[in-house]
Amino acid sequence: MNLPNKLTVARIILIPIFVIICVVPFAWGNVEWLDSTIPVTSLVATIIFIVAALTDWFDGHLARKYNLITNFGKFADPMADKLLVTAAFIILVEMNIAPAWIVILIISRELAVTGLRLLLVEGGEVLAAGQLGKIKTFTQMIAIPLMFLHNFPFAWTGIRVDLIFLYVCAFFAVWSGIDYFYKNRGVFKGSM
């Protein structure tokens, strides 16, 4: 197993640890800083999420740079990413931090685009991530830690920067989803 695949497996292992830290009521207390009160469990969960997200970037970078792309990596890497983000969003809804309708919108887009990718693979095509999808990914990777940290370090301003990033993420989720389907509408020709 090459290093990018090991990083992907490590990310998959971090997902249940992240979920356990988020949902088990550990009494680890709070951290107070800059008018923010952050539960230590949220802080630990955020660190795990960020480490897992960084492994996603790092394993893809290594796989492309050293031509270490494998079928396992093609399958497991995007699956691990979707599982991590979906778990985080569902937990944020359960914690009453993220609005459920936005999370449903983002997760639905992820499932639809994954389905489109599968259809394209059957036809021998690969759906590369577009710029709009990359903006969606970037904004969600900022929004999720900010929400787990209760909008730290922006809480003192009274501006919900965490929700701003979430709304921007939702906007680009919809826009990029429409863009992917429009540009690949040919895959549906003759099948309706």
Task: Give residue 130's pLDDT.
Answer: 87
CATH fold for the domain made of 3-188:
Four Helix Bundle (Hemerythrin (Met), subunit A) (1.20.120)
User: H helices within the chain, ranges in order?
Assistant: 3-23, 40-65, 71-94, 100-122, 131-148, 161-183
Predicted confidence (pLDDT) at residue 108 exceeds the cutoff of 80? yes
Position with higher pLDDT, 9 vs 75: 9
Q: Does the global pTM surpass 0.85? A: yes
pLDDT tens for each residue of 56-82? 889 988 988 999 988 888 888 889 999
Burial track 107-144 (b if 16+ CB lie within 10 A, e otherwise): bebbeebeebbeebeeeeeebeeeebbebbbebbbbbb
> What gap in Å lies between CA 178 and CA 172, rounded to an integer?
10
Predicted confidence (pLDDT) at residue 190 exceeds the cutoff of 80? no
Task: Give residue 146's pLDDT.
Answer: 97
